[in-house]
Amino acid sequence: MNLTNRISIPAIMEVGFDKLANLGFYINKAGFDKIAIFFGSGIKELFGDTVLSSIKNIGNIEITKLYEFESNDISDIVENGFSIPPKTDLIIGIGGGRVVDVAKYISFLNDKPFFSVPTSTSNDGFSSSGSSLVINGKRTSVHAKMPYGIVVDIGVIKKSPVKFFYSGIGDLISKITALNDWKYEEENNKAIVNDFAAMISKKSIDSVLRLDFQSIYEDYFIKEFVDSLTLSGIAMEIAGSSAPASGSEHLISHALDKILSIPQLHGIQVGIATYLMSRVQEYRKERVEYFLKTTGFFNYVKNIEIKFDDFEKAIDIAPTIKPNRYTYLHNKKYNDMAKTILRSDKILKDILI
Amino acid sequence: MNLTNRISIPAIMEVGFDKLANLGFYINKAGFDKIAIFFGSGIKELFGDTVLSSIKNIGNIEITKLYEFESNDISDIVENGFSIPPKTDLIIGIGGGRVVDVAKYISFLNDKPFFSVPTSTSNDGFSSSGSSLVINGKRTSVHAKMPYGIVVDIGVIKKSPVKFFYSGIGDLISKITALNDWKYEEENNKAIVNDFAAMISKKSIDSVLRLDFQSIYEDYFIKEFVDSLTLSGIAMEIAGSSAPASGSEHLISHALDKILSIPQLHGIQVGIATYLMSRVQEYRKERVEYFLKTTGFFNYVKNIEIKFDDFEKAIDIAPTIKPNRYTYLHNKKYNDMAKTILRSDKILKDILI
Amino acid sequence: MNLTNRISIPAIMEVGFDKLANLGFYINKAGFDKIAIFFGSGIKELFGDTVLSSIKNIGNIEITKLYEFESNDISDIVENGFSIPPKTDLIIGIGGGRVVDVAKYISFLNDKPFFSVPTSTSNDGFSSSGSSLVINGKRTSVHAKMPYGIVVDIGVIKKSPVKFFYSGIGDLISKITALNDWKYEEENNKAIVNDFAAMISKKSIDSVLRLDFQSIYEDYFIKEFVDSLTLSGIAMEIAGSSAPASGSEHLISHALDKILSIPQLHGIQVGIATYLMSRVQEYRKERVEYFLKTTGFFNYVKNIEIKFDDFEKAIDIAPTIKPNRYTYLHNKKYNDMAKTILRSDKILKDILI
Amino acid sequence: MNLTNRISIPAIMEVGFDKLANLGFYINKAGFDKIAIFFGSGIKELFGDTVLSSIKNIGNIEITKLYEFESNDISDIVENGFSIPPKTDLIIGIGGGRVVDVAKYISFLNDKPFFSVPTSTSNDGFSSSGSSLVINGKRTSVHAKMPYGIVVDIGVIKKSPVKFFYSGIGDLISKITALNDWKYEEENNKAIVNDFAAMISKKSIDSVLRLDFQSIYEDYFIKEFVDSLTLSGIAMEIAGSSAPASGSEHLISHALDKILSIPQLHGIQVGIATYLMSRVQEYRKERVEYFLKTTGFFNYVKNIEIKFDDFEKAIDIAPTIKPNRYTYLHNKKYNDMAKTILRSDKILKDILI
């Protein structure tokens, strides 16, 4: 009997238009009626009316407590997080990545189901079981609660700042090199690929890559894009690790976080690193380049100032970030190759400074 | 505590080239070493050497029994199925849909893990938990064992008869109308959609639909196509029902099975019905038409003789096949519309007689 | 992710008075409303009215089909077992061990939940996931369905034939030597004990052993006795094997089944073998002897004719019944000791002929 | 698919002599090799050598960090709890209830398996998934991690202070009234009893109650007693609530915690309340009285000063502690009866002041 390895798949996954205005319906459908809500900073002004009247309309849902709170410092979380009224049967986080992380963690501490309602999708965190918090002054990834429900309103996402869009795109494309790193790890007997997690991760990115779109603001593109980030979070849950969604390109980004005093958005760094690593891995590099070009990602990140020197340092220390893994960057040959390509690639020359 | 609803996901999912020649490796990787093999009729001649030497090469795998047997009559299965040596820790079925169904059922009766190794992929049965058997003289769908491993050799599939190809294509495209029927059922409060099952089913068909291919015999197409059928079987397991993979178009095919003395291949019937139902549902019909045209499905099925009259009868009795469901065909309005379109549609006029 | 090892625990476990008259209530409580019933031979005459009016009283439960059928030949089962109406959501077996086994197996074939309603409890089969069937003319233990509900009416059990009582007592006491064999197997690195299964098995037998009773027909004794057999079945499900409930004493009984043209009741044989093995193992032998004496088991089995010679042969071939296990009898030293004790023990001299 | 309700059963459950000296063996058997250890205050002096050399003897187990730390204030826990080296694959808590709770919570925060190694057993917390912590200055029960392993050294328990013994006995006997409250709740349609959880809880207490013992310091008594507390923790996990282990008698104790500036040990309060409630419920009261008398519990608690007035107040506010439950004390009739019996019962007159 092995009852200790187990996965949680969200029971509610709604990605589409007017989802915020139907939030009450989904809460009710899932059988909850005593909810605590966390709004991110400024979110109640923007969407409070929509959300609260959708809940009111259902009739029998009680809001046990309403927070406007998004400090992700563990001390604040602990101080406030245990004040959830015991009768609460669902915790909802509405807003950007930060409040989603905070509410997700408080759900974990209280062992209560969680609804993730992101108003921007700069990475796949809204559908994963982890939270990024500040612990003893340092940004730390911690285990939290897999969402029971994920509700994403395309109309809301559409109006979110462009930087979050491109960050999300960078995070999405990273699944290509991440999956290839995982396969490489298995070939080197350092890991076992979970075939199902790999397959849904691959399918979800491919269905976006092969989409015929004119603009990333098209409804159809956004829907597909958010669906795919959602599946990416779930693939990690199924795999029991971040491997299906995070490889060498993520290590470079984590390294940049250490090097830079003010890092760029996670997905921005990851997207650039994905392009580089697809060249190093010689794996679907035309596809990656084409996608980052046609979505406008390359154009957008030109305005972001990242230095060649920092990127090079990041490649150097990337393997030390997760010493137990074995990505292409953990092999000196490819690590060196990454640095060579970094300095010679035409597109990167155009982006980095 | 609810320990009675549970899902099994295959731990091994290998779709690619030279997979038969590596079958021993996958058996060993999964930790089995006492295996019983079922070869379908004629399969041992074709692939026996490849399979057996791949197993021999591993060294420590014992073949406890080797069957060449594919009668899917329950009496034969019961007579032979309990002769599996008790020490056997894995049962493998290699061949067409029939032997895979038989070996899958014998795995179920013996409560032993099962490897599904199809040599043709005319539908998603190779990755599902059901078997189609003959019971008291009638073809009957019964619950069997979800495969623990799925191993598909693209090179082998490539050489399988063209009719199986087109049947598989018909079964794959059916997920579009099936998912829409499921959604319709939920909107009419007759079912609850499992969002995760629906999402992976949708992603898996979309990644094929959006593929840029010249011929269905391209390696890349076959790989994607088989991957997607695989996920379709798993989506049913996750949903705990056939709903994510089988809607009104499947009901028409089941009805044809009852009407016709010699029915066509399942996926052939299903593919034609999917085209019809996509028009009835007004749902992604251009996409469906385009795919069935460019894959050559329409051209192929012209040579298949199915009568308008039989198809019409099938539409009539379709709702009675699964009275508990509520697809578009269960609504008289759409059922009538289906018959009207059947008689007037230009493409169908070209196909049916 | 390991979703392939999983356990099912009965959701309904009712042991007490007037349970048959409340069967409808339990069916309804568990959420079923379309049931197929299997009555054992003669059972409908005895309890049909009670059962059927308890169901009728609930109001909304439909009996989809009613069988009076208990042939445990696999051919009969297959011929009849697939005639369960598809809408059926629960299968119930009411009667002795045989019809419970048959209905349990038909539930397995149809993948439907099963209620086990034994009217006698001669062993722990009513709460286990196995069935004893006749396959190709031979009695064979096969995997079937773990009951979703177990309903035992003490008043009914109280009136069941005395031989079933003593058989049940023999099967219950066997857990002592079985658990010790399992521990021995682990100490010899041939098995890993599932601590939880072992603990509930031990607790359940101990709570009966330590009971202060005057007669085995006391209500309290019967209740405890049936509860403990129930937990024994569940312990096997948790362990994923019969080890917590079946050791060397069961091997002797299985061997006797092979040797004798007409074997005794399973639990009768097992009970005698348990006494012998507790002496061989030097493990709680006073306790075993005291229990079998005070329950009247020894007195009862004096009238059963089992020959020393057959018992000796059974000890000889016991290890070959399950060559993969390693009980005390698999060790030549203890196997020899068993035969010596067999011939010299005073109590056995009194019982065997 | 319902993957969100799930239970964890400890894989390792070792209760017996010399278990501390074999701790390394159990760690290794469970497959861990990078462990962090939390010793309670003073525990390293007492048992450090035994524990550490048992680990050293195995050879390949690395101690990633060793803490002597048992502040159960959430601020201290958060400050220190995230310093566990990431490579750690097991966290072990060794000592009294407090350090076990702390280490269990830190395992929860780090999502790592936990071994519970109590050196005293004053309640069933060592085998449950909850921790009692100080949050914002108040003692609060929070969800933590179900132990993966439970290792209890009888020799160590034997030498633990007598007050912990009697507290454990009080907590154990409370399962009788708790189970009856749960049944009462179901009869009043306020809860659904989990039959399996109830049955193992009942069996585990009965196997102790029916034990023939001279002194609670007998090895056999201690072993049974600790086994039963262990099963009690697991019963809660299976039920998904504390109901199988905590009823009206626990509510009285929780109320006393609120009323008294320095409450007595949990199990001491609970034991007295169990005696009272067994009289109110008219349920197995002779058994409860007999057990508390023969174990010396009544004699021991005579020296504990609890006032009638406080106890009466506690009965009054008990129902408000868990307003969602419905125990006998939630019914005014029985609540009043409890207060009457409190003032008139001869044994209580002897104990309370």
What is the ipTM, given to two decimal places? 0.90
What's the token pair of residue C65? 């089909």
B interface with C, Cβ–Cβ below 8 Å: 1-4, 6-9, 11, 74-75, 78-79, 82, 87, 109-111, 113, 135-136, 140, 142-143, 148, 324
What's the token pair of residue B243? 């709903």
C231 and D14 within 8 Å at the Cβ level: the answer is: no
A199 and B12 within 8 Å at the Cβ level: the answer is: no
* Neighbour count for residue D323 (Cβ, 10 Å): 10
pLDDT for D304-348, tens place per residue?
A: 889 999 999 999 999 999 998 999 999 999 999 999 999 999 999
A8 and D7 within 8 Å at the Cβ level: the answer is: no
Question: Percent of chain B having pLDDT more than 90?
Answer: 89
- Per-residue pLDDT band for D7 (boundaries 50, 70, 90) equals low
Backbone angles phi, psi at D134, to 5 degrees: -100, 115
* Chain A closest-CA separation from residue D326 CA (Å): 15
> What per-residue confidence (pLDDT) applies to C204?
87
Residue C73 per-residue DSSP state: B
- Alpha-carbon span B257 to D37, nearest angstrom: 66
Contacts of C230 in chain D (CB under 8 A): 199
- Per-residue pLDDT band for A304 (boundaries 50, 70, 90) equals confident
Backbone angles phi, psi at D215, to 5 degrees: -145, 145
pLDDT for A91-106, tens place per residue?
A: 999 999 999 999 999 9
> What per-residue confidence (pLDDT) applies to B9?
87
C80 pLDDT above the threshold of 70:
yes
Closest-CA residue of chain B to D8:
B1
- Alpha-carbon span B289 to A308, nearest angstrom: 50
Average pLDDT of the residues of chain B: 94
Contacts of C7 in chain A (CB under 8 A): 1, 3
Closest-CA residue of chain B to D7:
B1
Question: Percent of chain A having pLDDT more than 70?
Answer: 98
Contacts of D204 in chain C (CB under 8 A): 203
C196 and D13 within 8 Å at the Cβ level: the answer is: yes
Mean pLDDT, range B266-280, rounded to an integer: 97
Mean pLDDT, range C68-95, rounded to an integer: 93
Closest-CA residue of chain A to B30:
A192
Which of A82, A90, A134, A321 has the highest number of chain D CBs within 10 A, making it the mutation to test binding with D? A82
Closest-CA residue of chain D to B237:
D1
D203 and C231 within 8 Å at the Cβ level: the answer is: yes
B87 and C324 within 8 Å at the Cβ level: the answer is: yes
D124 pLDDT above the threshold of 50:
yes
> What per-residue confidence (pLDDT) applies to D44?
96
Backbone angles phi, psi at C282, to 5 degrees: 50, 45
Contacts of B7 in chain C (CB under 8 A): 3
* Chain C closest-CA separation from residue D105 CA (Å): 23
Contacts of A239 in chain C (CB under 8 A): 1
Mean pLDDT, range D226-253, rounded to an integer: 94
* Chain A closest-CA separation from residue C7 CA (Å): 7
Mean pLDDT, range D174-195, rounded to an integer: 96
Average pLDDT of the residues of chain C: 94
- DSSP H helices, chain D, are 23-29, 43-58, 74-81, 97-110, 154-158, 162-187, 195-209, 219-239, 248-259, 266-281, 285-294, 297-301, 308-321, 332-344, 346-351
Q: Pairing state of beta strands B138-143 and B130-135? A: antiparallel
On whether the CB atoms of residues D130 and D141 are closer than 8 A, the answer is yes
Mean pLDDT, range C167-174, rounded to an integer: 97
Contacts of B230 in chain A (CB under 8 A): 199
C interface with D, Cβ–Cβ below 8 Å: 9-14, 195-196, 199-200, 202-204, 206-207, 210-212, 224, 227-228, 230-231, 234, 238
- Per-residue pLDDT band for B7 (boundaries 50, 70, 90) equals low
Alpha carbon B336 to its chain centroid, in Å, reads: 29
A to B CB pairs, distance under 8 Å: 61
Contacts of D136 in chain A (CB under 8 A): 79, 82
pLDDT for D39-98, tens place per residue?
A: 999 999 999 999 999 999 999 999 999 999 889 999 999 989 999 999 999 999 999 999
Q: Which of A196, A202, A231 sits opposite B199 (nearest CB)?
A: A231
Nearest to B216 by CA among B287, B150, B166: B166
Residue C192 per-residue DSSP state: -
pLDDT for B139-166, tens place per residue?
A: 888 999 999 999 999 999 999 999 999 9
pLDDT for C130-149, tens place per residue?
A: 999 999 888 888 999 999 99
- Per-residue pLDDT band for B112 (boundaries 50, 70, 90) equals very high
Q: Which of A4, A8, A143 sits opposite D4 (nearest CB)?
A: A8
Give the number of residues written for chain B. 353
Mean pLDDT, range D120-126, rounded to an integer: 95
C190 pLDDT above the threshold of 70:
yes
- Please spell the DSSP secondary structure of C330-352, one letter per residue: GSHHHHHHHHHHHHH-HHHHHH-
B203 and A228 within 8 Å at the Cβ level: the answer is: yes
- Per-residue pLDDT band for D171 (boundaries 50, 70, 90) equals very high
> What per-residue confidence (pLDDT) applies to B8?
80
Give the number of residues written for chain A. 353
- DSSP H helices, D59-139, are 74-81, 97-110
- Per-residue pLDDT band for D137 (boundaries 50, 70, 90) equals confident
Beta-bridge partner residues of D152: D15
- Per-residue pLDDT band for A137 (boundaries 50, 70, 90) equals confident
On whether the CB atoms of residues A136 and D82 are closer than 8 A, the answer is yes
> How many helices (H) and strands (E) would you count in chain A?
15, 8
* Rg over CA atoms, chain C: 20
Closest-CA residue of chain B to A228:
B203
* Chain A closest-CA separation from residue D269 CA (Å): 24
C13 and D230 within 8 Å at the Cβ level: the answer is: no
Closest-CA residue of chain B to A199:
B227
Of the listed ranges B254-263, B313-322, D100-109, the least confidently predicted one is B254-263
Residue A73 per-residue DSSP state: B
Mean pLDDT, range A118-142, rounded to an integer: 93
D188 pLDDT above the threshold of 60:
yes
pLDDT for A312-331, tens place per residue?
A: 999 999 999 999 899 999 99
Contacts of C1 in chain A (CB under 8 A): 5, 7, 194, 196-197, 238-240
Of the listed ranges B168-182, C328-342, D162-176, D205-219, the least confidently predicted one is D205-219
Mean pLDDT, range A265-292, rounded to an integer: 97
Closest-CA residue of chain C to B111:
C143
D9 and A2 within 8 Å at the Cβ level: the answer is: no
Half-sphere exposure (Cβ direction) of B345: Cα atoms closer than 13 Å: 22
Chains meeting C at 3+ CB pairs closer than 8 A? A, B, D
Q: Which of B1, B3, B239 sits opposite D1 (nearest CB)?
A: B239
Q: Which of C9, C211, C230 sits opposite D210 (nearest CB)?
A: C211
C307 pLDDT above the threshold of 80:
yes
Alpha carbon B31 to its chain centroid, in Å, reads: 27
> What per-residue confidence (pLDDT) applies to D5?
42
> What per-residue confidence (pLDDT) applies to B4?
36
B to D CB pairs, distance under 8 Å: 21
Q: Which of D1, D197, D240 sits opposite B5 (nearest CB)?
A: D1
- Per-residue pLDDT band for C2 (boundaries 50, 70, 90) equals very low
* Chain C closest-CA separation from residue B144 CA (Å): 8
Chains meeting A at 3+ CB pairs closer than 8 A? B, C, D
pLDDT for C109-129, tens place per residue?
A: 999 999 999 999 999 999 999
> What per-residue confidence (pLDDT) applies to A28?
96
D87 and A136 within 8 Å at the Cβ level: the answer is: no
Which of A175, A207, A284 has the highest number of chain B CBs within 10 A, making it the mutation to test binding with B? A207
- Per-residue pLDDT band for A6 (boundaries 50, 70, 90) equals low
B116 pLDDT above the threshold of 50:
yes
* Chain B closest-CA separation from residue C169 CA (Å): 30
Contacts of B113 in chain C (CB under 8 A): 4
D199 and C12 within 8 Å at the Cβ level: the answer is: no
A168 pLDDT above the threshold of 80:
yes
> What per-residue confidence (pLDDT) applies to A328?
98
Closest-CA residue of chain D to C14:
D195
Closest-CA residue of chain B to A226:
B199
Q: Which of D5, D197, D239 sits opposite B2 (nearest CB)?
A: D5
Mean pLDDT, range B69-89, rounded to an integer: 92
* Neighbour count for residue D51 (Cβ, 10 Å): 22
Angle at D304 between CA D298 and CA D308, to 5 degrees: 90
> What per-residue confidence (pLDDT) applies to A69?
83
Question: Percent of chain A having pLDDT more than 90?
Answer: 90
C8 and B11 within 8 Å at the Cβ level: the answer is: no
